[in-house]
Amino acid sequence: MSNLILGIDAGNHMAKVAGEYGIDSYRTAICEWFERDVVEIHGADDMEFEIDGRKGFAGTIAVYEDEFGGGSMFGDSKAHEDTKIRVLLAIHRYIEKYSPGIENVSLVTGQPISSHKDAEKKKIIEMLKGTHELIVNKEWRRIHIHDVAVGAEGSGAYWATSGIRSARIIDVGSGTVNCATIADKRYINNASDTFNFGMETVNNKNDLASIARGIIRGTTKLKWDKNDIVLICGGISKDILPFIAKYYVSARLLEPLLKNRGDVIFADPVFANAIGFYNLARMTFK
Ligand SMILES: Nc1ncnc2c1ncn2[C@@H]1O[C@H](COP(=O)(O)OP(=O)(O)OP(=O)(O)O)[C@@H](O)[C@H]1O
Ligand SMILES: [Mg+2]
């Protein structure tokens, strides 16, 4: 039976998925299920789900419906129940879009650098591994997850680059900013960290100059040099790059390289972790 290999970056704002057929993403807002008087379509990614007994809505509909505004868990660990829902919905969407009928999956997913520890990783692996039953938009599906490995956000994106031996990576997310140092293809723990703020948790998300200053302040404490090669990824990369480049003069976008059934494409920097995780998954599980 064929096995689908995926890289899944289950972000607090968007889930990003990469695999041999290409990429997919959806808005990861989740809210509890309720009886709908008026059935209104909010977005193409709207999903009504029942997963391992939990019922709810996900996608753009949950952004509008959740009275607590989005309902995302912006913590610095992804070892919680919402991650399971996000990952399973991501798999469901990918199979529906690209490979109907597949039930067997092996995957690499991510965790912020600061909580990339054995106990947290074990929780994620135990939560995901095994057989899950889903009903999404009234369609039933079974998914067997055979293998799970947990990569680090930011540093995982290195595996989506090519021809680079050493670099600094800044992944600006919605709840966290992950900053990774890779020297001679090795991850350097002492020069990497997670900052506990992101685009959706700052006071003013339009003030990119201040957010960039916060990131620069944090990374100079890690002894990054202004002439280092700095690669930027995450959903806001293109907009924040000019502000980061004011200090890190050699900063540029991390445009992840995806080998897609013979073709090679450069994807948007928001897919950097997902594609890096996919490449790690291919190396680990084949
Ligand atoms: N297409 C877009 N255009 C403009 N801004 C975007 C776009 N997509 C995402 N963003 C912004 O970029 C931010 C980060 O998006 P990203 O998908 O990298 O976060 P995430 O990975 O879900 O979060 P985290 O890494 O904290 O779990 C979002 O909060 C949003 O404000
Ligand atoms: Mg992210």
pLDDT digits (tens, 9 = 90+) for 130-168: 999 999 999 999 999 999 999 999 999 999 999 999 999
For the CA of 175, the nearest atom of ligand 1: 26
Contact 134, 174 (CB under 8 A): no
Ligand nearest to the CA of 235: 1
Residues 261 and 244 placed together within one structural domain of the fold? no
Residues 117 and 185 placed together within one structural domain of the fold? no
Residues 118 and 69 placed together within one structural domain of the fold? yes
Residue 68: which CATH number? 3.30.420.40
Domains identified in the chain, total number: 2
Average predicted confidence (pLDDT) for the chain: 92
245-265 in b/e burial notation, b at 16+ Cβ within 10 A? Answer: eebbeebbebbbbbebeeeee
pLDDT value at position 70? 47
CA 56 / ligand 2 centre spacing (Å): 23
pLDDT value at position 61? 85
pTM for the structure as a whole: 0.94
On the 0-12 / 13-18 / 19+ scale of CB atoms within 10 A, 193 is: buried
What percent of the chain lies above the pLDDT cut of 70?
A: 94
Residues 73 and 122 placed together within one structural domain of the fold? yes
- Residue ranges in 54-129 assigned as alpha helix (H): 60-65, 81-98, 118-128
Residues 17 and 107 placed together within one structural domain of the fold? yes
Residues with CB under 6 A from ligand 1: 11-14, 153, 173-176, 198-200, 205, 234-236, 270
pLDDT value at position 71? 54
Residues 121 and 185 placed together within one structural domain of the fold? no
Residues 208 and 142 placed together within one structural domain of the fold? no
| Best residue for ligand 1 mutational test, from 124, 194, 236, 253 (most atoms within 8 Å of Cβ) | 236
- Beta bridge mates, 172: 177
Grade residue 33 by pLDDT with cuts at 50, 70 and 90: confident
Range scoring the smallest mean pLDDT among 40-49, 79-88, 192-201: 40-49
pLDDT value at position 77? 74
Residues 231 and 218 placed together within one structural domain of the fold? yes
**pLDDT tens digits, one per residue of 102-138:** 999 999 999 999 988 899 999 999 999 999 999 999 9
| Best residue for ligand 1 mutational test, from 150, 174, 211 (most atoms within 8 Å of Cβ) | 174
| Torsional sign, CA 159, 80, 86, 199 | negative
> Between helices 208-221 and 237-244, what is the axis angle to 10°?
60
Ligand nearest to the CA of 197: 1
CA 59 / ligand 1 centre spacing (Å): 14
Residues 172 and 97 placed together within one structural domain of the fold? no
Residues 111 and 9 placed together within one structural domain of the fold? yes
Residues 234 and 119 placed together within one structural domain of the fold? no
Token couple for 165: 């031996």
For the CA of 13, the nearest atom of ligand 1: 22
Residue 183: which CATH number? 3.30.420.150
Helix (H, G, I), strand (E, B) or coil at 10: strand
Q: How far is the C-alpha of 98 from the C-alpha of 202, rounded, in Å?
A: 37
Residues 11 and 111 placed together within one structural domain of the fold? yes
Q: Whose CA is nearest to atom 12 of ligand 1?
A: 235
Query: Domain containing 206: what range?
Result: 163-253
Q: Whose CA is nearest to atom 4 of ligand 1?
A: 236
pLDDT value at position 45? 86
Grade residue 246 by pLDDT with cuts at 50, 70 and 90: very high
